[in-house]
């Protein structure tokens, strides 16, 4: 989580207030909040904070992107860590289960194929988030094993409107994701 993300969801009125509060929590013992590094979001370098498990610094950008994605989904429940089949996240919208993969041009074909062999056993729709159209075409070619249960979208499109018509099946048909039911 970054200060900008907290301001965007209206948890704080300004970046200054959010940064001050996060820094104070990170310095105070017993809060469980730690500053784990920096990430580039919308071209701006920002500090990243977490209360989750300790991660290598090389995963800071990846984890921040997953947080950005999850903030855009209207879900009933989600899980980030300890997800089955080594997916990046798991979420439920009503009775529908989704496994998410934020593989933004950082993995090679062999890695994606190994991941697909695990994901083929899952009883869920797999959401592949891609960096750009070329990356999406590569992912579609490399994930033939799970085409029947995969949807593909561009990172920027998902951040802008995760439930809009930004998701594509392997054959190019565009669809959208449902939203969680209204809560009483």
Which pLDDT tens digit goes with each residue over 170-180? 999 999 999 88
Over residues 49-55, the mean pLDDT reads 81
Q: What is the pLDDT of residue 182?
A: 52
Mean pLDDT score of the chain: 88
Crossing angle, helix 109-119 and helix 133-142, to 10 degrees? 60
Which residue matches tokens 């159209």?
A: 133
Rounded to an integer, what distance in angstroms lies between the CA atom of residue 26 and that of residue 41?
21
Q: What is the pLDDT of residue 183?
A: 47
The strand pairing partners of 168, in sequence order, are 152, 174
pLDDT tier at 105 (50, 70, 90 boundaries)? low
pTM to 2 decimals?
A: 0.81
CB atoms within 10 A of CB 162: 22
Give the pair of three-digit tokens for residue 82. 């300890």
Strands 77-79 and 96-102, how do they pair? unpaired
pLDDT tier at 37 (50, 70, 90 boundaries)? confident
């Amino acid at each position: 989580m970054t200060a900008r993300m907290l301001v965007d969801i209206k948890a704080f009125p300004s970046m200054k207030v959010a940064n001050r509060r996060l820094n104070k929590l990170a310095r105070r013992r017993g809060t469980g909040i730690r500053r784990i590094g920096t990430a580039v979001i919308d071209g701006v370098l920002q500090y990243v904070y977490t209360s989750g498990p300790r991660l290598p610094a090389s995963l800071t950008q990846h984890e921040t992107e997953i947080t950005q994605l999850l903030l855009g989904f209207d879900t009933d429940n989600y899980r980030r860590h300890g997800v089955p089949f080594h997916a990046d996240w798991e979420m439920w919208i009503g009775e529908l289960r989704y496994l998410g993969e934020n593989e933004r041009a950082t993995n090679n074909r062999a890695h994606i194929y190994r991941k697909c062999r695990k994901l083929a056993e899952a009883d869920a729709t797999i959401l592949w988030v891609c960096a750009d159209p070329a990356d999406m075409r590569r992912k579609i070619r490399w994930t033939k094993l799970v085409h029947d249960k995969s949807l593909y979208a561009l990172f920027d499109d998902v951040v802008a409107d995760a439930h809009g018509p930004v998701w594509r099946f392997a054959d190019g048909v565009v669809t959208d994701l449902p939203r969680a039911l209204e809560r009483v």
